[in-house]
Amino acid sequence: MQKTIKILMFGWEFPPFNSGGLGTACYGLTRGLSRNNAEIVFVLPRASGVKNENYMKILNTAALDIDNGSIKFKTIDSILTPYLSSESYINERYNNTKIEVDEKLMYGEDLFSEVMRYSQEAKIIASKEEYDVIHCHDWLTFPAGIEAKKIAKMRGINTPLIAHVHATEFDRTAGNPNQAVYNVERHGMHKADAVIAVSNYTKNMVMNHYGIDGKKIHVIHNSIDYMPSYSSEEFKIKKHHKIVLFVGRMTIQKGPDHFLWIAKKIAEKDDNIRFVMVGSGDMFPFIVEEAANLGIGDKVFFADFMPQKDVERAYRMADVYVMPSLSEPFGITALESMKNGTPVIVSKQSGVSEIIKNCIIVDFWDINRIADNIINVLYDSDTRNKLVGGSMEEIKKFSWNEPARKCIQLYNSLILNKKPLPA
């Protein structure tokens, strides 16, 4: 019988409070791991409202009282949130009236000191838990993983540390990284015993920009647990218009401005098509204003951030889903759209394009070609039926068991080959 592997996992978002694909990926991966004889302790900066799953324990750092030498904290409820920038962290810390004055004194002065404070919490958690591997998701948790590994070394155990890269600072900023974030990312990847990249696209990014040996990087694509969904819901808007859908954070990485430029091209040719944009982010005010400036304000509908169940309805409502990301490490929304029977057009600069066949793949910058493909999918029944039929057959083969199995293989390899600590 396969030995149970105990995983200490650090993340920074988890359903139902997702702001992006990371939480969805963490949920799917942990479920897959649990089906492969793994025990997981999942640590979040803030777990208020997140329910314990029956297959793992979620630890909330807010439950800890810390008195660790020169570092002293009371009960902690970190204000680290998904996809937080330095500016938005400061705004949250100083301007959120829901945070009491005494609580503000506990939080770091800036995003980076808060990340480091969170890493100190990890030392307490690591000292109380048993684990065979440490698995960290993205840069905010890399320092926490490093501290957990130090605690294991104090016990005389050389516990493997894995840095799981879902997105780099180069992705998030379209090639203009914040140096401080980059430094944390790079340090974490170099300290890790192995790096997991969610695509070959990301592996190349990590090799080229962070100086990580390719032999240390293991590509494990994200996935989806396919379950057939049946819905007879009718959407009134569909009686009059074709629907083109965008789902994602309103940030430069995801290309919401490119989506609008595509919409403008199409609107000049066809007045019957409407565009729905689901998501929020720092570019949201600009995107709303830009739609008006382009003269398509009456053709673009903004849904802001929506719960996953409503996002699923949006997929079913749409006639085509477009992912025009400038730099997309994976792009799990494409799989979600396929699962709901909606054809997809994805950026060539994406990881998901490496593993799906029944889709249309176009360079994000090729606005005219994307627009032409959208119109073709909307009105050419042969093209549409081929895409929908092929993608529905393809998506049935997807399962989080496969990436989980690859993670288990990596864990076992690291545990087997780990070097003993010097006496």
Do 214 and 274 lie in a common domain? Answer: no
Domain holding 202, by residue range, is 5-223+400-417
**C-alpha 372: how far from its chain's center?**
29
Do 27 and 167 lie in a common domain? Answer: yes
Do 80 and 143 lie in a common domain? Answer: yes
Q: What is the pTM of this model?
A: 0.86
The domain total for the chain is 2
Residue 269 amino acid letter: K
Q: Does residue 92 lie within any of the structural domains?
A: yes
111-165 pLDDT, tens digit per residue, is 777 788 778 878 888 888 889 999 999 998 999 999 999 999 999 999 999 999 9
The pLDDT assigned to 64 comes to 42
- Asked if residue 92 has pLDDT above 80, the reply is no
Do 207 and 284 lie in a common domain? Answer: no
Do 78 and 196 lie in a common domain? Answer: yes
Do 152 and 107 lie in a common domain? Answer: yes
The pLDDT assigned to 198 comes to 98
Q: Does residue 229 lie within any of the structural domains?
A: no
End-to-end CA gap in the chain: 33
Average pLDDT for the chain: 85
Confidence of residue 74 (pLDDT cuts 50, 70, 90): very low
